[in-house]
Amino acid sequence: MLIVFLGAPGAGKGTQARTLAEKKNLTHLATGDLLRAEVAAGSDLGLAAKTFMDRGDLVPDDVMIRMIQGRLDSPESAGILLDGFPRTVAQAQALDDALSAEGAGVDRSIYFEVSEEELVRRLAGRSTCPGCQRAYHDTFNPPKSAEECDGCGTKLIEREDDKPEAVRNRLKVYGTQTTPVLEYYKSAGILVEVDGEQSIVAVQTDLAAAVV
């Protein structure tokens, strides 16, 4: 099974992906998390990607496509949940090509619909664990102990790209480069829309119904 999560930054993809992957025994592949691990490790890829990420721009397609190829096998799980990929039509096409070479394809593409006003509110109050990448929100999803990750106890940080200028750019980039991907999956007949403005638990319920 291969599931793709689509939606603007702050739509709740990462939070929901973690829970769904656990529930359905899926391998959670979050390209943003993979890139941040490369940045933290100081690898050549990380150094090249950091400038794009800090500005809120997309990392070039060829880098991302190479990163995702070779990770599409899931021998120890029931399938793969892609979170943050594809973000351009070229990436979506490359994904289809890689999968069809193995006689497979994307089974479902889930779009988290959230208004821009709500996205800005969420990103403004967001903090992230640099250890396990869990995201929190001051009001909607606060950590149990102030400023520490519930999962691993690491001190939470504000991501560089959650600062206002980068957020504005990320939303613009999403509008121009990623929204055409919605049409790509819609015309393939595999797009499912979920109301991402509901509570975390209500979105979980809708997702469980969409991914059976």
Distance, in Å, from the CA atom of 70 to the CA atom of 50, rounded to the nearest integer, reads 22
User: Would residue 108 show up in a list of annotated catalytic residues for this protein?
Assistant: no
Q: Which residue is nearest to ligand AMP (CB)?
A: 32
User: Would residue 155 show up in a list of annotated catalytic residues for this protein?
Assistant: no
User: Would residue 126 show up in a list of annotated catalytic residues for this protein?
Assistant: yes
Distance, in Å, from the CA atom of 178 to the CA atom of 92, rounded to the nearest integer, reads 10
Please state the closest distance from residue 122 (CB atom) to ligand AMP, in A.
Answer: 12
Residue 3 pairs in a beta bridge with: 81, 108
Q: Give the count of residues interacting with ligand AMP (CB under 6 A).
A: 17
User: Would residue 170 show up in a list of annotated catalytic residues for this protein?
Assistant: yes
Give 94-99 contacts, CB < 8 A, sequence gap 24+: 94/61, 94/65, 94/69, 95/4, 95/68, 98/68, 98/69, 98/72, 99/2, 99/72
* Strand pairing class (191-195; 2-6): unpaired
Of the listed pieces 56-64, 100-108, 114-122, 184-192, which binds ligand AMP according to CB under 6 A?
Answer: 56-64
Distance, in Å, from the CA atom of 114 to the CA atom of 117, rounded to the nearest integer, reads 8
Q: Which is nearer to ligand AMP, 76 or 203 (CB)?
A: 203
State which of residues 3, 8, 26, 59 lies at the interface with ligand AMP (CB under 6 A): 59
State which of residues 28, 134, 137, 170 lies at the interface with ligand AMP (CB under 6 A): 170
Tell me the residue type at 143: P
Q: Which is nearer to ligand AMP, 36 or 194 (CB)?
A: 36
The residues annotated with a catalytic role in the active site are: 13, 87, 126, 159, 170
Q: Footprint of ligand AMP on this chain (CB under 6 A)?
A: 9, 31-32, 35, 52-53, 56-59, 64, 84-85, 87, 91, 161, 170
